[in-house]
């Protein structure tokens, strides 16, 4: 079942511009990571301080289509490209808020692991249910 994605605003800072006058590529990664984790934390699905299960990044990528620069605010749309047993491939569309121009698309692969052993574990049941109910999941 697909319901839709989660959208989050990500304001930029003066320090985010690089020497070429546009947002440094690391800012896009920070925006994607913040969007994913804030969705899980805000929904009570990830306890970063004491939860038994952690989501660790196993891979990430970003394809750039256009540039942004401060004071642009980014708009990120979160969905799921693949929902596995122990991992999720999050997909993100990044656009400029003021005009909707698509700037980039990215992926983050989170593998869920036991906090103590750091070995993969199944995605927690409540997280899996929230993904299916709240985010667009690719078929």
Would you say residue 1 lies in a domain?
no
What is the token pair recorded at 102? 């698509």
Residue 4 pLDDT: 56
Would you say residue 31 lies in a domain?
yes
Distance of CA 139 to the CA centre of its chain: 19
Residue 63, burial from CB neighbour count under 10 angstroms (0-12, 13-18, 19+)? exposed
What is the average per-residue pLDDT within 59-75?
A: 97
Q: Which CATH number do you get for residue 83?
A: 3.10.129.10
Residue 133 pLDDT: 94
How would you classify the pairing of strands 6-11 and 73-83?
antiparallel
**CA–CA dist 71, 59 (Å, integer):** 29
**CA–CA dist 47, 53 (Å, integer):** 8
Distance of CA 33 to the CA centre of its chain: 5
Mean pLDDT of the chain, nearest integer: 94
Between 15 and 138, residue with greater pLDDT: 15
Containing domain of residue 34, as a range?
Answer: 6-134
User: Whole-structure pTM over 0.85, yes or no?
Assistant: yes
Would you say residue 69 lies in a domain?
yes
**Cβ contacts of residue 8 below 8 Å, gap of 6+?**
34, 35, 38, 39, 75, 76, 78
Total of domains in the chain: 1
Would you say residue 117 lies in a domain?
yes
Would you say residue 139 lies in a domain?
no
Side-chain-side CA neighbours of 66 within 13 Å: the count stands at: 12
What is the token pair recorded at 104? 């980039």
pLDDT tier at 1, thresholds 50, 70, 90: very low
- Report whether pLDDT(9) > 70: yes
Would you say residue 34 lies in a domain?
yes
Would you say residue 118 lies in a domain?
yes
């Amino acid at each position: 079942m697909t319901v839709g994605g989660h959208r989050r605003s990500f304001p930029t800072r003066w320090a985010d511009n690089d020497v070429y006058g546009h947002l440094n590529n690391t800012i896009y990664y920070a925006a994607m990571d913040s969007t994913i984790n804030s969705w899980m934390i805000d929904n009570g699905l990830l306890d970063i301080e004491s939860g038994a299960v952690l989501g660790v990044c196993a891979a990430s990528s970003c394809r750039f289509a256009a540039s942004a620069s401060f004071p642009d605010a980014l708009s990120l749309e979160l969905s799921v490209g693949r929902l596995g047993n122990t991992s999720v491939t999050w997909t993100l569309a990044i656009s400029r808020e003021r005009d909707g121009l698509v700037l980039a698309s990215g992926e983050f692969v989170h593998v869920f692991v036991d906090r103590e052993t750091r070995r993969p574990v199944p995605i927690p049941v409540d997280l899996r249910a929230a993904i299916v109910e709240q985010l667009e999941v690719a078929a």
